Amino acid sequence: MKAPVKLLSLTVWITVWLLLIGTTLVILGIFNQQLNWDIFSPQVEQILYGIFFSCIVLSAFGVAVTFVLGLKRIVEAVELLQQKGQLEHSLVAPKAQRLTYVGYMMGLFVAFSALVGALELADHRVQIHRSQVFKQIASEQVQKFGQRFSLPLSQFDRTTSTVPGSISEPLKALGSLSFVQNIVLYVPDPQDRSSLWRHSQYQTNANGKPIFERFLAAKEFETAIAQALRGDPKALDALNRQTRLTWYHILIDAQEQPLAVLKIEGNPNENFREYTSEPAYRQN
């Protein structure tokens, strides 16, 4: 094969590989967005973006070079055809069998499927670690604020919907932490065991005063909270063992009787890779 043909073939193959890398990154980006993967850190994502755009630029250059070299080879082939009446054997490409293309497509499909499956498994392990670390730091922070909740809650008049500042202030302090997306305080209703009172940091009346809201415990986690406040925390412990960015913490009084339950929802945008604490709950 002549040198120009070798250069054209090399350029084509390099361009194909660059396009394949770019396509792979696009597919990974789509799955990363749709499945909310947390495999890649922000720094790694920036590097992958750089690689993707570099592949696009180099592929465009490769396509342009291929077009110029291919056009040159076409002109040479036409000149030889006019001179000799036939093309050189090196200029005639053999016909590829239809099964060859099918094999290539199936190979790409299997390769992409295996890659996505492997990354999904890796993301599952990452999510377990994120959940463990979140629950550990949430538990540590609530324990620091535990005493500030216990005394006001033990003296709290549960027949009124007004939230005293001694309860709302530590709740706001916890809610302001970077790893917290939302925090809700649940207290029992002394008049109805099937009902609860709840207060979040954003829950206020028309005058901007923090208030409690009374509701019927119907959802799974609400029923588990009601049971925990009656002294049966098994269902709540089961929820805490799930791989979610949600932590339920039981606040107790001096006699170790349940006073209230804090539900802390983690911030999904928090970078939990920076934490190295051992998990509060180990996943089975």
Question: Do 228 and 159 belong together in one domain?
Answer: yes
In a domain, 118, yes or no: no
Among residues 74, 94, 114, the one where a domain terminates is 94
Nearest to 41 by CA among 136, 121, 123: 123
Q: At what angle do helices 165-175 and 98-154 cross, to 10 degrees?
A: 160
User: Which residues fall within 8 angstroms of residue 64, CB to CB, at 6 or more apart?
Assistant: none
Question: Do 9 and 137 belong together in one domain?
Answer: no
In a domain, 61, yes or no: yes
Q: What is the pLDDT of residue 279?
A: 42
Among residues 44, 70, 94, the one where a domain terminates is 94
CA dihedral 235, 240, 241, 245 (to 10 degrees): 140
Q: What share of the chain is helix, strand, coil (3-state, %, to 5)?
A: 60, 15, 30
Structure tokens at 154: 């033990």
Find out whether 259 and 172 touch, Cβ atoms under 8 Å: no
Question: Do 72 and 154 belong together in one domain?
Answer: no
Q: What is the pLDDT of residue 284?
A: 34
Q: What are the backbone dihedrals phi and psi of residue 196, each rounded to the nearest 5 degrees, phi first?
A: -135, 165
In a domain, 284, yes or no: no
Q: What is the pLDDT of residue 84?
A: 61
Q: What is the pLDDT of residue 138?
A: 87
Question: Do 259 and 149 belong together in one domain?
Answer: yes
In a domain, 8, yes or no: yes
Query: Could you give the CA distance from residue 284 to residue 258 in angstroms, rounded to a whole number?
Result: 27
Among residues 94, 113, 135, the one where a domain terminates is 94
Query: Could you give the CA distance from residue 144 to residue 254 in angstroms, rounded to a whole number?
Result: 16
Q: Which residues of the chain fall short of a pLDDT of 50?
A: 1, 277-284
Specify whether the backbone of 145 is left (phi greater than 0), alpha (psi in -120 to 50) or beta.
alpha
Domain count, the chain: 2
Domain span at residue 19 reads 3-94
Question: Do 186 and 137 belong together in one domain?
Answer: yes
Question: Do 208 and 258 belong together in one domain?
Answer: yes
User: What single letter denotes the amino acid at residue 215?
Assistant: F
Question: Do 88 and 133 belong together in one domain?
Answer: no
In a domain, 163, yes or no: yes
Structure tokens at 240: 């805490």
Question: Do 169 and 251 belong together in one domain?
Answer: yes
Q: The domain spanning residue 219 has which CATH number?
A: 3.30.450
In a domain, 103, yes or no: no
Question: Do 63 and 132 belong together in one domain?
Answer: no
Question: Do 133 and 243 belong together in one domain?
Answer: yes
Query: Could you give the CA distance from residue 233 to residue 251 in angstroms, rounded to a whole number?
Result: 12
For 59-92, how does the pLDDT look when each residue is reduced to its tens digit (9 = 90+)?
888 888 888 877 777 766 666 665 665 555 555 5
Q: DSSP class of residue 272?
A: G
Question: Do 21 and 142 belong together in one domain?
Answer: no
User: Which residues fall within 8 angstroms of residue 272, CB to CB, at 6 or more apart?
Assistant: 129, 130, 133, 134, 179
In a domain, 107, yes or no: no
In a domain, 200, yes or no: yes
- Beta-carbon-side half-sphere exposure of residue 109 (alpha carbons within 13 Å): 6
Question: Do 145 and 242 belong together in one domain?
Answer: yes
